Amino acid sequence: MNRCQWCGKVTSGFGMVVLTIKEGEPSQSLCRDCYNEFMANMLGIEDFEDFEKEITFLDCAGTEHFFQIEKIINPTGILWEAKEFISDNQIGYSFEIHQDFEEDPNDALKRLYKKIKKGLSKKFIKREVVQGKELISIKDNVVEGRIEWDDKYNGRAPKFIIDGQEYSLEEFGRILMSCEGLNFRLEIIESSE
């Protein structure tokens, strides 16, 4: 169970943070609130709490997406995350940005919202029905998404989250077959970029 070893709170969603204060001492499993408070004290910064924890955005098809917003204070800055929890361990859309300590957190949040809106403003996968058959293809020859662990393959094959939806390697492979014979370029991008 995800019970915080400091405050006893049970967390789901974003989960726990493992903190090792001194090398050689057992590490502790903490909720993000306790972890952030600890980090803010250690770094001598304010633990900014005055922000919307839940926010809904519309995508380009008019579908609502419900995001939970959380931050994590790192020694190098603050990571802001917006995640769309489809179930406890399934995440649809996910966006993150990095905030430097000098930046106003409200400005960082504005950047996060902008990133969410941009991410929801277009779709990369096109679904159409041609002669009674569903045809799934790549729109405009570019796909952006997220590479995730697929439990079914235990690390041997990834799954992909595209347009906030899950595709197994095989499903994605089938989509790529609409481009059979063409060349491609693969580029990996940091999540906070």
Tokens of 25: 């001492």
**Site membership for Zn ion, residue 73 (CB under 5 A):** no
Q: Could you say which residues in the range 11-40 bind Zn ion, by CB under 5 A?
A: 31, 34
- Minimum distance from residue 94 beta carbon to Zn ion (Å): 23
In this complex, which beta carbon is closest to Zn ion, that of residue 37 or of residue 171? 37
**Site membership for Zn ion, residue 10 (CB under 5 A):** no
* Residue with token string 């803010």: 40
DSSP, residue by residue, 4-71: -TTT--B--TT--EEE-SSTTSPPEEE-HHHHHHHHHHHHT------S-SEEEEE-TTS-EEEEEEEE
In this complex, which beta carbon is closest to Zn ion, that of residue 36 or of residue 94? 36
- Minimum distance from residue 130 beta carbon to Zn ion (Å): 53
Tokens of 169: 């390697």
Buried-state track 100-109, b at ≥16 Cβ within 10 A, e below 16: eeeeebeebb
139, 123 contact by CB (below 8 A) = yes
Please name the helix (run of DSSP H) or strand (run of DSSP E) that holds residue 119, with its range, or none: helix 105-120
In this complex, which beta carbon is closest to Zn ion, that of residue 8 or of residue 24? 8
Please identify which residue in 4, 16, 143, 162 interacts with Zn ion, judged by CB under 5 A.
4
- Minimum distance from residue 11 beta carbon to Zn ion (Å): 8
**Residue numbers of the site for Zn ion (CB under 5 A)?**
4, 6-7, 9, 31, 34
